[in-house]
Structure 1
Amino acid sequence: MRRPTFDRRQFLAASTAMATTLAAPFVRDANAAGKLSIGFWDHWVPGANAACTSVVQEWAAKERVEVTIDYIPSQGNKNLLTIAAEAQAKSGHDILAMPTWWPHAHADQVESCNDIMPQLIAQNGAVNGTVQYLGKLGDKWLGVPATIGSQIKGPCTRIDLLKQHAGIDIQALYPAGAAPKADSWNMETYLKAAEACHKAGVPFGVGLGETTDSVDTAGAFFQSFGAELVNAKGELTVKTDAVRQALEYLVKVAKFYPADAPAWDDGSNNRWLVSGRGALIMNPPSAWAVAKRDAPQIAQQCWTHGMPAGPKGRFAPFLPYFWNIWSFSQNKPAAKSLLVALSQPAAVAKFVAASGGYDIPAFEKLTTLKTWAEEGPPVGTLYHYPNPHNHQTLSIAASPAPPKIAQQIYSQATLTKMIVRHLQGEPMERTLSWVESEVEGFLRG
């Protein structure tokens, strides 16, 4: 996520990795000739936009389509403002990149991708459940899951500090190049490790604020307890044993987080890791890459791995991007052909390499690219980042509530607010009554 203290465009890129499958040919017809306008997310990794441009230009030259590419930054929510403006004007790019909730928010204005998603799934493997949850409305595919910009926010742990203070060899639990051996990495172990590292003066750097990093982490923990504020049917489920159990646990472990964790933003955990003050944060590899640049002695001790398991399983925060075609696009056949080209293994490998392993493809057959195995230091530090062994369920906070309700729970940071309220001494039942009132308002809306 964006960190106020450094420039994403200074994030370090990695060496290239290539596969060999070529994009499917674009069959031109009377409606498909001419131009194509694309609005991509503006990557902060040097070279990532160039890699995307080269794939598009190769396709365009082959298919003789004139393309225009705009890279739209997420700083200041410019990408979200662009989505809203084009939706209102019913004019703009043919293809526009949309994060997480936004395809559902504009479901009636995006073109169905039902004619291309089945072939991509047959070729690249099934997509994870979060992509289906956010990328489909009923039987309609709202877009194609984008490799570029998609991320997992799992633990990045200091190998040395966790071993020294909690007696846990995280590399043994998550060995490079092999399946996890992490049955012992559960909620009890996590709590004990958090306490031990707190006592040693190197607390886990997990935020309890109202920005996305904090909300994403809280959401994964709630799901690990089977705790839902609203279920998939849209029914209010706040006052349940699962929610109480999750809240009790999260308040217990929050006492071992930094004292100012309720005020943390999306830059706080990055600064915490790079400063050397903490033993663990929850983040994609951007924090590690900044450490590699600014504090290499710390980066050499970092290991990215899976979440602790709870009573209902092991859940990790996953935030996908989608490439969507507006229903008012002037060149839908060409747009769909390009999305197929962008989803070919060779293109995906190029995007992953150019992002230094940050970008995550949604398709199960594309999670073992060599970039993650070879990145370092230490070599293999990102091997488990893309969940290559399906060791955990990739999720998004506030699911499985209907997306338009979940988006409100997410954007209002209801999960972290309830943790902080109870942490600060409010009785649990009063906190749950407050949450129930808040969510009832979302349901009415």
Structure 2
Amino acid sequence: MAFTQPTRRRVLQTSAASAAALVSAPYVSGAHAAGSLSVGFWDHWVPGANRATEEIVKAWGEKEKVAVKADFITSQGNKNLLTIAAEAQAKSGHDVFAFPTWYIHEHAAMLEPVDDIMADLIKQNGAVNGTVDYLAKVKGRWMAIPATPGSQIKGPCSRIDLMKQHAGIDVQAMYPAGAAPKADNWTMDTFLTAAEACHKAGFPFGIGLGQTTDSVDTAGAIFQSFGAALVDKDGKLTVKSDAVRQAMEWYAKLAKVLPPDAPAWDDASNNKWLVSGRGALICNPPSSWAVAKRDAPDIARQCWTHGMPAGPKGRFAPYLPYLWGIWSFSKNKPAAKSLLRALSTHDSIAKMVAVSVGYDLPAYEGLTTLKTWAEEEPPKGTLYHYPNPHNHQTLSIAAAPAPPEIANQIYNQAIMTKMVARHLGGEKMEATLTWAQNEVEGFMRG
């Protein structure tokens, strides 16, 4: 089979001709009784992690006599999003594509329903979390299935030593490896007190207030822990609610003890903060720990991934899934569905998790205790609580539960972090809320 990575020129072309060109390369020769199939996968951040997908697809293609062409398309420079737009416009391209978060709803009219696959996968692997249900279902129908590669929780990764020394918190005792959390006292108030103590000691929490996903995801989980939604599930505007004011008041206190350049942070900033040794806590998937393991092993040995603090309305963790969808213009839908089933077995998912060093997260409740998370080190068990094995927290996405077409815009425009940054900069609370309400009303009219 052929595995390729499209060049910048090939991805940036948005005409019908270029969309067709993405699948014009010759397929592997051989006896292909079941035809051919073209798949657009996400190009993994973790070095070597694409290998698991390659091996699974190759084995499936040989067994089913299907010639498979797989492109691993980077999200750097939004090349994967440009490819999605090109193929939707041309109604030609890959049969199967890996869609980020919100893009299933945007392209639902051009996707093949997969209710039959999901019914079997849920029976096989357990129920999926609510965020996958929210993002992958349109008008009650499954339009995509959860992809393991790239799906992630962005929960706290704490320095064991710094949290114990400066905040008096033993994160390993609070979230013991191999056992349920003992985190009843891990609340928003405790989190804020710890942030203030670590800031005073010269090791601030590394939480961004910028406009990229890491900052937005953390803000979303914090808002949800206060029950603070800018738009409710019925599409009603709720910016000027007591819950939003409460979340903003808490966030204003936290923002004062974050790094002074936090409003300018991007998705690389918190990773660098952890690896530099300057911070006691960040919110991120284990990619930052993996980099520390390679570049700063003494720091990696002090890292512990665990759950979010609980607010008045519960404990919410930032969760971002990738989703696999089948284009309605696919010429081999039976093969596409068969491949997605093969990619979603227990053994396939376990292999993806292992090769990604625990970064990738299946969405199914029956697959949160794979041995990779228990065995990865240093220190051993550092990732045990990453996949939420005890259903200790609700996996959520920022701007939910607003209708997805509105939530998407709130998310991509980073309204919540902009609110915090404006208020931190001296704007009065009511002025900030009025600005946010006007912004969201514009999305709703659109």
Between the aligned partners of 1:390 and 1:89, the Cα distance in structure 2 is: 42
Between the aligned partners of 1:403 and 1:56, the Cα distance in structure 2 is: 32
How much has 1:57 moved relative to structure 2?
1.1
- Answer whether contact 2:155 2:307 (CA < 8 A) is retained: yes
Q: Which residue of 2 aligns with 1:418?
A: 419
Between the aligned partners of 1:242 and 1:118, the Cα distance in structure 2 is: 37
Between the aligned partners of 1:443 and 1:435, the Cα distance in structure 2 is: 12
Letter of the structure 1 residue corresponding to residue 360 of structure 2: D
Q: Within 5 Å, which residues of 2 pair with 1:34-433? A: 34-433=35-434
Letter of the structure 1 residue corresponding to residue 412 of structure 2: S
Between the aligned partners of 1:334 and 1:410, the Cα distance in structure 2 is: 34
Between the aligned partners of 1:384 and 1:320, the Cα distance in structure 2 is: 18
Between the aligned partners of 2:397 and 2:83, the Cα distance in structure 1 is: 23
- Answer whether contact 2:34 2:64 (CA < 8 A) is retained: no
Which secondary structure does the structure 2 equivalent of 1:314 belong to? strand
Letter of the structure 2 residue corresponding to residue 334 of structure 1: A
How much has 1:142 moved relative to structure 2?
1.0
Between the aligned partners of 2:264 and 2:341, the Cα distance in structure 1 is: 42
Letter of the structure 2 residue corresponding to residue 86 of structure 1: E
RMSD: 0.7
More displaced stretch, 41-50 vs 222-231: 41-50
Letter of the structure 1 residue corresponding to residue 411 of structure 2: Y
Between the aligned partners of 1:327 and 1:45, the Cα distance in structure 2 is: 31
Between the aligned partners of 1:270 and 1:116, the Cα distance in structure 2 is: 37
- Answer whether contact 2:35 2:66 (CA < 8 A) is retained: yes
Between the aligned partners of 1:330 and 1:365, the Cα distance in structure 2 is: 33
Between the aligned partners of 2:200 and 2:316, the Cα distance in structure 1 is: 27
Between the aligned partners of 2:398 and 2:45, the Cα distance in structure 1 is: 25
Letter of the structure 1 residue corresponding to residue 208 of structure 2: G
How much has 1:139 moved relative to structure 2?
1.5
Which secondary structure does the structure 1 equivalent of 2:82 belong to? helix
Which secondary structure does the structure 2 equivalent of 1:115 belong to? helix
Which secondary structure does the structure 1 equivalent of 2:233 belong to? coil
TM-score for the superposition, normalised by structure 2: 0.92
Which secondary structure does the structure 2 equivalent of 1:204 belong to? coil
How much has 1:44 moved relative to structure 2?
2.5
How much has 1:165 moved relative to structure 2?
0.3
Q: Within 5 Å, which residues of 2 pair with 1:12-27? A: none
Between the aligned partners of 1:73 and 1:266, the Cα distance in structure 2 is: 16
Letter of the structure 2 residue corresponding to residue 236 of structure 1: L
Between the aligned partners of 1:441 and 1:230, the Cα distance in structure 2 is: 12
Q: Residue deviations 1:258-294, cap 9 Å, x none? A: 1111111111101100010010000000001111111
Q: Residue deviations 1:46-83, cap 9 Å, x none? A: 32211101101111111111111111011110000000
Between the aligned partners of 2:50 and 2:281, the Cα distance in structure 1 is: 30
5+ residue gaps, structure 2, are: 1-32
Between the aligned partners of 1:311 and 1:424, the Cα distance in structure 2 is: 26
Q: Residue deviations 1:107-149, cap 9 Å, x none? A: 1001000111011001100000000000101211111100011
Between the aligned partners of 1:358 and 1:197, the Cα distance in structure 2 is: 27
Between the aligned partners of 1:134 and 1:83, the Cα distance in structure 2 is: 17
Between the aligned partners of 1:222 and 1:192, the Cα distance in structure 2 is: 18
Between the aligned partners of 1:268 and 1:139, the Cα distance in structure 2 is: 39
Q: Residue deviations 1:327-359, cap 9 Å, x none? A: 000000110011011000000000000100000
Between the aligned partners of 2:353 and 2:316, the Cα distance in structure 1 is: 23
Between the aligned partners of 1:226 and 1:163, the Cα distance in structure 2 is: 30
Letter of the structure 1 residue corresponding to residue 201 of structure 2: A
Letter of the structure 2 residue corresponding to residue 138 of structure 1: K
How much has 1:45 moved relative to structure 2?
2.1
Q: Which residue of 2 aligns with 1:437?
A: 438
5+ residue gaps, structure 1, are: 1-31
More displaced stretch, 135-144 vs 167-176: 135-144
List 4+ stretches of structure 1 deviating above 6 A.
none
- Answer whether contact 2:208 2:265 (CA < 8 A) is retained: yes
Between the aligned partners of 2:393 and 2:305, the Cα distance in structure 1 is: 14
Q: Which residue of 1 aligns with 2:28?
A: none
Between the aligned partners of 2:445 and 2:195, the Cα distance in structure 1 is: 39
